[in-house]
Amino acid sequence: MIIWRLVFISVVLALTQLGFLAAWRPLGLVPNLLLAAMVGLSLRGAVRPVLFTAVICGLALDLNSGAYFGLWTLTLPAAALAATLLQRTGVVGNDLASGALVVLAATLVAGAAAILGMTYVVRVWPVGLLSAKLLGEVLINELLFVSMWSLVKWPVVPKDTLPGVNRR
Protein backbone atom coordinates (compact mmCIF):
# COMPACT_ATOMS: atom_id res chain seq x y z
CA MET A 1 0.00 0.00 0.00
CA ILE A 2 3.04 2.24 -0.39
CA ILE A 3 1.57 4.08 -3.36
CA TRP A 4 -1.59 5.11 -1.50
CA ARG A 5 0.42 6.30 1.45
CA LEU A 6 2.55 8.40 -0.92
CA VAL A 7 -0.49 9.84 -2.70
CA PHE A 8 -2.08 10.68 0.66
CA ILE A 9 1.11 12.37 1.89
CA SER A 10 1.43 14.32 -1.38
CA VAL A 11 -2.16 15.58 -1.20
CA VAL A 12 -1.87 16.61 2.46
CA LEU A 13 1.45 18.40 1.86
CA ALA A 14 0.31 20.17 -1.32
CA LEU A 15 -2.98 21.34 0.19
CA THR A 16 -1.28 22.58 3.34
CA GLN A 17 1.22 24.51 1.24
CA LEU A 18 -1.33 25.99 -1.18
CA GLY A 19 -4.15 26.61 1.26
CA PHE A 20 -2.86 27.17 4.75
CA LEU A 21 0.75 28.37 4.49
CA ALA A 22 0.29 30.49 1.35
CA ALA A 23 -2.67 32.25 3.00
CA TRP A 24 -1.00 32.67 6.37
CA ARG A 25 2.22 34.22 5.02
CA PRO A 26 4.06 34.91 8.26
CA LEU A 27 6.13 38.10 7.82
CA GLY A 28 4.81 38.29 4.26
CA LEU A 29 6.73 35.17 3.25
CA VAL A 30 5.48 31.75 2.24
CA PRO A 31 7.21 28.94 4.17
CA ASN A 32 8.13 26.15 1.77
CA LEU A 33 6.84 23.07 3.56
CA LEU A 34 7.30 20.87 0.51
CA LEU A 35 10.95 21.73 0.02
CA ALA A 36 11.71 21.05 3.69
CA ALA A 37 9.69 17.84 3.60
CA MET A 38 11.37 16.52 0.45
CA VAL A 39 14.84 17.13 1.87
CA GLY A 40 13.91 15.53 5.21
CA LEU A 41 12.26 12.51 3.61
CA SER A 42 15.07 11.86 1.15
CA LEU A 43 17.71 12.05 3.89
CA ARG A 44 15.84 9.60 6.09
CA GLY A 45 14.51 7.07 3.60
CA ALA A 46 14.53 5.73 0.04
CA VAL A 47 14.66 8.45 -2.60
CA ARG A 48 12.32 6.96 -5.24
CA PRO A 49 9.10 7.28 -3.21
CA VAL A 50 10.17 10.83 -2.36
CA LEU A 51 10.64 11.59 -6.07
CA PHE A 52 7.13 10.28 -6.72
CA THR A 53 5.76 12.53 -3.95
CA ALA A 54 7.83 15.48 -5.17
CA VAL A 55 6.48 15.22 -8.72
CA ILE A 56 2.84 15.09 -7.52
CA CYS A 57 3.36 18.02 -5.15
CA GLY A 58 5.29 19.96 -7.81
CA LEU A 59 2.45 19.50 -10.32
CA ALA A 60 -0.10 20.68 -7.74
CA LEU A 61 1.98 23.81 -7.05
CA ASP A 62 2.53 24.50 -10.75
CA LEU A 63 -1.20 24.22 -11.46
CA ASN A 64 -1.85 26.97 -8.93
CA SER A 65 1.21 29.12 -9.45
CA GLY A 66 1.67 32.17 -11.64
CA ALA A 67 5.28 31.27 -12.29
CA TYR A 68 6.24 29.35 -15.44
CA PHE A 69 4.96 25.78 -15.55
CA GLY A 70 7.57 23.29 -14.42
CA LEU A 71 9.29 25.44 -11.82
CA TRP A 72 8.09 23.31 -8.91
CA THR A 73 7.75 20.02 -10.81
CA LEU A 74 11.49 20.27 -11.46
CA THR A 75 12.69 22.01 -8.29
CA LEU A 76 11.17 19.63 -5.73
CA PRO A 77 12.50 16.37 -7.27
CA ALA A 78 15.84 18.12 -7.88
CA ALA A 79 16.07 19.02 -4.17
CA ALA A 80 15.29 15.42 -3.18
CA LEU A 81 17.83 14.04 -5.66
CA ALA A 82 20.50 16.52 -4.60
CA ALA A 83 20.00 15.64 -0.92
CA THR A 84 20.36 11.93 -1.70
CA LEU A 85 23.43 12.42 -3.89
CA LEU A 86 25.14 14.60 -1.27
CA GLN A 87 24.40 11.97 1.34
CA ARG A 88 25.64 9.07 -0.81
CA THR A 89 28.87 10.87 -1.65
CA GLY A 90 29.43 11.54 2.04
CA VAL A 91 29.25 15.33 1.79
CA VAL A 92 26.40 15.40 4.30
CA GLY A 93 25.06 12.91 6.82
CA ASN A 94 21.47 12.12 7.69
CA ASP A 95 21.31 14.30 10.79
CA LEU A 96 19.47 17.53 11.47
CA ALA A 97 22.44 19.82 10.76
CA SER A 98 23.06 18.24 7.36
CA GLY A 99 19.40 18.54 6.50
CA ALA A 100 19.41 22.20 7.51
CA LEU A 101 22.40 22.79 5.23
CA VAL A 102 20.62 21.17 2.28
CA VAL A 103 17.43 23.15 3.00
CA LEU A 104 19.51 26.35 2.97
CA ALA A 105 20.97 25.51 -0.45
CA ALA A 106 17.62 24.30 -1.85
CA THR A 107 15.82 27.46 -0.69
CA LEU A 108 18.44 29.68 -2.34
CA VAL A 109 18.30 27.72 -5.60
CA ALA A 110 14.47 27.62 -5.67
CA GLY A 111 14.31 31.36 -4.88
CA ALA A 112 16.84 32.15 -7.61
CA ALA A 113 14.84 30.04 -10.10
CA ALA A 114 11.62 31.86 -9.17
CA ILE A 115 13.30 35.27 -9.49
CA LEU A 116 14.96 34.41 -12.82
CA GLY A 117 11.56 33.31 -14.12
CA MET A 118 10.35 36.89 -13.78
CA THR A 119 12.99 38.47 -16.03
CA TYR A 120 10.52 38.85 -18.89
CA VAL A 121 8.10 40.98 -16.84
CA VAL A 122 10.25 42.91 -14.37
CA ARG A 123 11.80 46.23 -15.41
CA VAL A 124 13.23 47.41 -12.10
CA TRP A 125 14.90 44.96 -9.73
CA PRO A 126 14.75 45.94 -6.04
CA VAL A 127 17.89 44.03 -5.08
CA GLY A 128 17.66 44.87 -1.37
CA LEU A 129 14.07 43.72 -1.10
CA LEU A 130 14.73 40.50 -3.00
CA SER A 131 17.77 39.71 -0.85
CA ALA A 132 15.75 40.34 2.30
CA LYS A 133 12.97 38.07 1.02
CA LEU A 134 15.44 35.34 0.15
CA LEU A 135 17.10 35.55 3.58
CA GLY A 136 13.71 35.59 5.28
CA GLU A 137 12.68 32.50 3.33
CA VAL A 138 15.88 30.72 4.34
CA LEU A 139 15.23 31.49 8.02
CA ILE A 140 11.58 30.49 7.91
CA ASN A 141 12.28 27.27 5.99
CA GLU A 142 15.04 26.34 8.44
CA LEU A 143 12.64 26.86 11.34
CA LEU A 144 10.03 24.75 9.59
CA PHE A 145 12.57 22.03 8.83
CA VAL A 146 13.87 21.88 12.40
CA SER A 147 10.34 21.74 13.81
CA MET A 148 9.25 18.96 11.44
CA TRP A 149 12.47 16.90 11.54
CA SER A 150 11.12 14.42 14.08
CA LEU A 151 7.76 14.21 12.27
CA VAL A 152 9.18 13.01 8.94
CA LYS A 153 9.85 9.54 10.43
CA TRP A 154 6.29 8.37 9.86
CA PRO A 155 5.97 8.89 6.08
CA VAL A 156 9.50 7.62 5.36
CA VAL A 157 9.71 4.50 3.23
CA PRO A 158 12.71 2.50 4.52
CA LYS A 159 15.44 2.00 1.90
CA ASP A 160 15.49 -1.79 2.17
CA THR A 161 11.75 -2.28 1.50
CA LEU A 162 12.00 -1.52 -2.21
CA PRO A 163 13.21 -4.00 -4.83
CA GLY A 164 16.41 -3.25 -6.75
CA VAL A 165 17.77 -0.94 -4.06
CA ASN A 166 21.44 -1.05 -3.24
CA ARG A 167 21.42 -1.96 0.46
CA ARG A 168 24.36 -0.15 1.97
d(CA 37, CA 163): 24
Q: Closest distance between another protein and the C-beta of residue 11, in Å? A: 7
CB of 97 to another protein, least distance (A): 25
Nearer to another protein, 66 or 90 (CB): 66
Q: Which chain residues interact with another protein by CB under 8 A?
A: 1-4, 11, 15-26, 28-30, 32, 48, 52, 59-61, 63-67, 69-70, 72-73, 110-111, 114-115, 118, 121-126, 129-130, 133, 136-137, 162-165
CA contacts within 13 A on the Cβ side of 142 = 14
Residue whose CB is less far from another protein, 90 or 164: 164
Residue 148 beta carbon to another protein: minimum distance, rounded to whole angstroms: 17
Handedness of CA 159, 109, 58, 30 (dihedral sign): positive
Burial label for 38, CB within 10 Å (0-12, 13-18, 19+), is: buried
For another protein, the closer CB: 40 or 52: 52
| E strand or H helix at 40 | helix 33-44
Q: Are 35 and 106 in contact (CB under 8 A)?
A: yes
Nearer to another protein (CB atom), residue 23 or residue 97: 23
